[in-house]
Chains A and B, each alone.
With several copies, the nearest count.
Chain A
Amino acid sequence: MDFTFTEEQQLMAGAFRELTADICAPEQLRALYDGRDTQAEARWARLAELGLFGVLAAEGDGGLGLADADFILLAEEAGHAALPEPLVEQAAVALPALGAHAGLPSVKALLPQLASGEARLALAHSRNPLANLPPAPTHWLLCESDAAYLIEAAGVDVIVEPSIDAGRRLGRPVVRASAAPLCRGAVARALGENVLSRAALYVAAQSLGVGARMLAISVAYAKEREQFGKPIGAYQAIKHHLASVAVKLEFARAVVYAAVAHVGRTGARSLAALSHAKLAAADAADLAARMAIQVHGAMGYSWEVDLHFYMKRAWALAGAWGDHSFHSRRLQGLVCEEAFALGPDQTFERTA
């Protein structure tokens, strides 16, 4: 039982934060929002250079062969930076999920390309039908309820669906009728469940990160902005708003980290843990966003102030990979019907 992170894990997260400070600085996000983004390819290259796409890939596939516990802080940083590219979807969702099915045709060959970032995957799922697109995708992985498709990008038409979050390039895939599935039936369902499970966990981690970013921005503003002769952060109302955000984030963090142990599992206890992580992190980010704008006042409502990049990411993540209704219904069903043993000795139980 050890709920801490290793020094290596913290160092890796720190290195990634430094990278995002460089490639996702607010001025770059602003350029993206203003339609002047020319850096997508460069960002992808920098992510690849740091080896981030291969963290969870097997060493034989050119990866680092690390575990989810090693990626969770990275996903948090991706949220913290409001990273535009779907690093997390490729590296921590699709790649490990496909890796568990490396025996399927064409998968084995693709894994090293995904790990290096040479291949760029667009990922859609019946529960998340709009893919968050990489720049110039090379492949699609589509998980439908009873079949999965792995297709070269040329074989998929894409309908663009603009998001309020300019850092998300959403697209709905239209697969040609002639496309052959990668797998069907039980295998496809297992793949799809694995993808959804991973995505829910890693979206939760990103929500934590973006929530923490909004809290940090708000604290900095509250220290600096003066009204009635003192910083607004000296007023109890502002203090209490931000303290409430800190409480909510801190406890959501514990839930998300603990859910790492459940990722990919399909037992009732694990599904509940993953939905809990998604809901708790989304709630914390939602509160962080509301309090951030309240602390900033009109300033936070302005396009030219950074806050909105992060608020919009928080709103988008709340609906991604199982929205509130999906996870809340699932969890209520499991808990309120006692689909698994409740009680204080069950906190760390895991089922397949």
Chain B
Amino acid sequence: MALDFNFTPAQQRFRAEVRAWMQAHVPARALKTLESEEGFAQHREWERTLASGNWGMITWPQQYGGRGASLIDWLIFEEEYYRANAPLRVNQNGIFLLGPTLMEFGTPEQKARFLPRMAAGEEIWAQGWSEPQSGSDLAALRATAVRDGDHYVLKGHKIWSSRAAFADWCFGIFRTEPGSERHKGLSFILVPLRHPGVRVRGIRQIHGEPGFAEIFFEDARVPVANRLGDAGAGWQIAMATAGFERGLMLRSPARFQVAAQKLVQLWRRQAAGADPALGARVAQAWMDAEAYALNTYRTASRLMAGGSIGVEASLNKIFWSELDLELHRTAMSLLGDRAELAAGSPECLDPSWLEGFMFSLAGPIYAGTNEIQRNLIAERLLGLPRA
């Protein structure tokens, strides 16, 4: 039935089940930031706790440690997850990016080797896409993997690798065909990070923590069996992974709905002295978070009815990144003369606003800048000519 906005009894039971589990398990005290070594370890531990309840990757098929949950169930899960104020997912690259990629392109051996440990939260994955000279222009990458018997010898320099400072493995693309150019001759390879010839150097972000890292490959040897898909098929596989990244699951609507709710509370606290125009911005933040949630349900319905996600992913990316930035800018304005105060300041109302604001600045940049997304929308959705 069209435009049916009622949850089924099974969905309602599922929500109740998630809510009860989260109430029982979400740590009462917030974990330290996952960008610190100690916090990373705490978040790893939380992944294991999630896995113990089989909540680690609910949309994965049961055979790989998931629940085979529908996208609607996933949305319900996320709503309850954020509602419970549960920790950030350190395992995100595994669950949403490499997991689906492995399921689509991996050999049975690769799936067996990697998926269960990913699901169990035992191995945490980092991405290795960008290089110093290839950001938006990923195809300009230079890192090489030279075949030597049943091994590849890796040389090169990846950067802006999220989670890599403390993760166990990374996935990335490397030039396996010497002399190849642009999108050709690339392969998708899985590399352990604690490994001879692999050196990881955390890069501090503007908030002072190493939210991403550089990875130097200095003649690191990895078995050819660590290649995902055919030699030379790296670009196509990476594009599939990027599609997963931009797709439905990169940012849960619930995240923004919780932030908008918090913003309303901040407004109520500050309204007396605030520019009344900020009230309209608070309401806009709520509206945009709702719109994002609604459109995600809409896309989920379409996908469950057999549709596929294409350039809509770019529409989503732009919408959530702009709403998140605007929401946090509004909070900064409401905090006014206290907005600059960092954690540790007695007068600071809530340090998470400043942290969230800085994080939101990255939204329009990462996972493909919004400029690139707008190009994609113009060319692929609207059919405008390439430059």
Q: Which residues of B have CB within 8 Å of A130?
A: 337, 347
Q: Are the CB atoms of B280 and A332 closer together than 8 Å?
A: yes
Do the beta carbons of B273 and A326 come within 8 Å of each other?
Answer: yes
Separation in Å of the A133 CB from the closest CB of chain B? 14
Q: Give Cα A172–Cα B346 distance, bound, in whole angstroms.
A: 10
The listed residue (A4, A301, A302) touching B2 by CB distance below 8 A is: A4
Q: Does B200 contact A (CB under 8 A)?
A: no
**Is A237 interfacial (CB 8 A cutoff)?**
yes
B62-84 Cβ-contact flags toward A at 8 Å (1 or 0) = 00000000001000001110110
Say yes or no: is B294 at the interface (Cβ < 8 Å to chain A).
yes
Q: Give the total of A residues in contact with B, Cβ under 8 Å.
A: 96
| Cβ-neighbour of A255 out of B136, B267, B291, B379 (below 8 A) | B291
| Bitwise interface map of A from 280 to 301 toward B, beta carbon under 8 Å scored 1, else 0 | 1000001000100110011011
Among B253, B270, B297, the one with the most A-chain Cβ atoms within 10 Å of its Cβ is: B297
In the bound complex, how far is the Cα of B193 from the Cα of A116, in angstroms?
Answer: 57
- Chain B residues, Cβ within 8 Å of A290: 325, 361
Interface assignment of B261: CB less than 8 Å from any CB of chain A: yes
Residue among B11, B80, B332 with the most chain A CB within 10 A? B332
Q: Given A1-B7, A344-B79, A344-B293, are A159 and B346 neighbors across the interface (CB < 8 Å)? A: yes
**Majority SS of interface residues in chain B?**
helix
Q: What is the CA–CA distance of A336 and B334 in the complex, to the nearest angstrom?
A: 13
Per-residue CB contact flags for chain A residues 93-131 toward chain B (1 = under 8 Å, else 0) read 000000000000000000000000000000000001110
Smallest CB separation, A73 vs chain B (Å): 10
Asked if A201 CB lies within 8 Å of chain B CBs, one says no
Identify which of B134, B277, B295 contacts A251 (C-beta below 8 A). Answer: B295
A52-85 interface mask toward B, CB cutoff 8 Å, 1 = contact, 0 = none? Answer: 0000000000000000011010000000000000
Is A348 a contact of B6 with CB atoms below 8 Å?
yes
Are B136 and A226 interface neighbours, CB within 8 A? no
* B298 interface residue per 8 A CB criterion: yes
CB distance from B203 to the nearest CB of A (A): 6
A318 at the interface (CB under 8 A from B): yes
Instruction: Say if the beta carbon of A29 comes within 8 Å of chain B.
Output: no
Interface size class of B (residues with CB under 8 A): 35 or more
Residue contact B136 to A336, C-beta cutoff 8 Å:
no
Give Cα A312–Cα B274 distance, bound, in whole angstroms: 22
A225-246 CB contacts (< 8 Å) to partner B: 226-231, 233-240, 242-244, 246
Closest to A7 in B: B2
A325 to B130: give the CA distance in the assembly, Å: 41
Among B103-111, B143-151, B229-237, B281-289, the stretch that binds chain A is B281-289
A contact patch SS: helix
- Whether A308 and B206, one on each chain, are in contact in the complex, defined by CB atoms closer than 8 angstroms, is yes
B292 within 8 A of A: yes
Instruction: Check A336/B268 contact, CB under 8 A, given A325-B278, A348-B5.
Output: yes
Contact between chains at B261 and A336 (CB < 8 Å): no
Contacts A298-B135, A315-B332 known; list 16 others, CB within 8 Å.
A3-B298, A69-B2, A162-B342, A163-B342, A164-B341, A219-B382, A239-B377, A243-B318, A243-B377, A246-B315, A247-B319, A247-B377, A308-B206, A324-B336, A328-B283, A336-B271
A-B contact pairs, 19 of them (CB 8 A): A1-B6, A3-B3, A5-B3, A130-B337, A130-B347, A162-B341, A219-B383, A223-B385, A236-B375, A243-B318, A244-B374, A255-B294, A258-B294, A297-B135, A298-B212, A325-B278, A328-B280, A329-B273, A350-B5
Residues in B lying within 8 Å of A, measured CB to CB: 1-8, 11, 15, 72, 78-80, 82-83, 130, 133-137, 140, 159-160, 203-206, 208, 212, 253-254, 257-258, 260-261, 264, 267-268, 270-271, 273-280, 282-283, 286-288, 290-295, 297-298, 300-302, 305, 312, 315, 318-319, 325, 329, 332-348, 354, 361-362, 364-366, 369-371, 373-375, 377-379, 381-387
Top 7 closest pairs, chain A to chain B, by CB: A323-B336, A239-B378, A303-B204, A344-B254, A254-B295, A3-B301, A233-B384
